[in-house]
Amino acid sequence: MAWKNHPFAARLRYALNGITHALRAEHSVKFQAGALLAVIAGLSVLRPRPVWWALALLASALVLAAELMNTALEELADQVNPEQHPRIRLVKDCAAGAVLVAVLGALAVAVAFLVQLLRH
């Protein structure tokens, strides 16, 4: 059976396997998952309007998604060429840069939320 034609349950299992692997193997993913839990806890205490929940959870999800893509790319690059190579280093640096951009976006949401909170 072709990879893309697997049943939904199998594709979901593959995705959960990837998330589980990243949580076990990558410190950055563990940190970001912990940050997501802290965001949820903070939102639960502060009880903001639903739009802030949506923005914060979307921003957190984007950071975790970027971390997972970075992890996947690094795993693939290391499998293809385990030796140090300047082009592969550049690819890894760009993937890390994507995570940084996502984190900065999440921080912008946090700052906007705090500014709004302090004004009321």
CATH code where residue 101 lies: 1.10.287.3610
Count H helices, E strands: the chain? 4, 0
- Place 4 in a pLDDT band, splitting at 50, 70 and 90: confident
5 has a pLDDT exceeding 90: no
Q: How many domains are there within the chain?
A: 1
As a whole number, mean pLDDT of residues 89-114 equals 97
* 3, 9, 85, 97 from 90: Cα distances, Å: 29, 36, 9, 10
84 has a pLDDT exceeding 80: yes
39 has a pLDDT exceeding 60: yes
Domain hosting residue 18, numbered range: 3-119
- pLDDT, residue 2, reads 64
**Residue, of 107 and 1, whose pLDDT is higher:** 107
State the catalytic residues.
Answer: 67
1 has a pLDDT exceeding 60: no
Read off the pTM. Answer: 0.89
